Amino acid sequence: MKIHIDIDCFFVSAARIKDSSLKQKPVAIGGRSDTKIFNQDAKQQTVSFENSGSFVPTFYKAYEDKDDDLDAFKDADGRVRGILTTSSYEARAFGVKTAMSIKEALGLCPNLIIKAPNMSLYQKLSHELHEFLQSKIPLIEQASIDEFYGDLSGWVEDDEIEQFIDNLRHEIKRVIKLPVSIGAAKTRYIAKLATTSAKPFGCKTIYPHQLDEFIEHIPVGEFAGIGKSMKSRFLSAQIHTLGDLKKRRGTVESWSPYAKELYKRVSGLTDAPIETTHRRKSIGISRTFDPLHERAELRRRVHVLTRHLSFAILKLKVIPTVFSLSISYEMNQSSHKNLSLAEIFTEKKFDSLCLNLFNEADNQRRLHVIRLSINCSSFTRDSKKELSLIGFNDEQKMKNLTDKTQILREKYGIDALKWGSEL
């Protein structure tokens, strides 16, 4: 059997470990793009590659602000900005939801307690839970900062699964202080569904003979892998629940290979192995800010973003060969440019490359810009591309300078050395 472990309202649960007075109160964690990255003043930042993803940035402040309540989300003029990354079940009872604006959430729940994120604490607790699970289960996969999969095959007998996961969730609460929900099933996909059904702080086991009854009334949109477009297609075909989906095999499998795979996952006919290690395939950085038109300032911000991303790439010890830059404008306009280049990675070349991509992508110069994104992918260790030998000796000299710069930043911070164009 496979199990899926999900920390209940993780960021809120972590805040309650730090401050027990938050228990049983409506609490939400706010999130706001760190535009202070563009300030002239140096600041202490850290980088983590372990669990970056939705609401979990690669770059974050190493030392959290002491002012971690609603004031952290107010502008100089007093406007409340930002969105919610998670909320407690007490807050959800008022209609508060993830990704809702803080202003809207306070309208629904005036007594809502807003806390600023504490990424250092989240990473610490997630690591502790991962180590604890590894001591209890032979194969553990960390899927995200608050999600884990485990394989109990040959370790726990099927008729002992229910007791095992019930004991496990209580032991995690006692040792790590985090409430978790656990689902168990023959496949990881159904185990994840079982976890959702068990929340909060519960556990549920779905045996093969119980599958049809379990999925009968679950809406198709609740299954991982069914996005908006696929959900819309299901609904247009009068497939509203996973039970409906399982009964319409011929229809679903005729749509596409992916739809065919989805049918197998929902029906418990296919599974994926537990992967104890994940190799990163890409890395990027992006920032959203107030509408900005001044192109000189936008180019300066491109320099700042490339410096930070270069630091992360060098820390990963990879050589990206595909580079892309995206610009989001006001009025829902956007532009994107990418480039393939198989050469030695140096910060100077990367900086020039990104600036060129920005100049090429900026095709709406009358509009204000609200977001810049840079992404690097197709690392040579994965793509097996050969590096160009043209100008290799000169590139090697610049690489040595880049390496020395990296050593200084590792020791004194990412802002220890900046490009003159940033000032």
Rounded-to-integer distance, Cα 198 and Cα 180, Å: 10
Structural domain includes residue 34: yes
What pLDDT does residue 261 have? Answer: 95
Angle (deg, nearest 10), helices 392-412 and 347-361 = 100
Angle (deg, nearest 10), helices 257-266 and 228-236 = 80
Structural domain includes residue 173: no
Digit-coded pLDDT (tens) for 329-341: 999 999 999 999 8
CATH at residue 44: 3.40.1170.60
Structural domain includes residue 274: no
Structural domain includes residue 144: no
Digit-coded pLDDT (tens) for 203-250: 999 999 999 999 999 999 999 999 999 999 999 999 999 999 999 999
Structural domain includes residue 141: no
Structural domain includes residue 404: yes
What pLDDT does residue 383 have? Answer: 46
Residues of the chain with confidence (pLDDT) below 70: 32-36, 40-68, 76, 278, 381-398, 409, 412-413, 417, 419, 421, 423
Structural domain includes residue 54: yes
CATH at residue 398: 3.30.1490.100
What pLDDT does residue 169 have? Answer: 96
115 closest CA partner among 57, 44, 77, 65: 65
Structural contact between residues 176 and 156, judged by C-beta atoms closer than 8 angstroms: no
Q: Give me the domain span that covers residue 68.
A: 9-118
- Spatial neighbors of 296 by CB under 8 A, at least 6 apart, are none
Structural domain includes residue 393: yes
Number of compact structural domains in the chain: 2
Among 76, 99, 118, give the residue marking a domain's end.
Answer: 118
How would you class 75 by CB atoms within 10 Å of its CB: exposed for 0-12, middle for 13-18, buried for 19 or more?
A: exposed
Among 118, 150, 180, give the residue marking a domain's end.
Answer: 118
Among 90, 118, 146, give the residue marking a domain's end.
Answer: 118
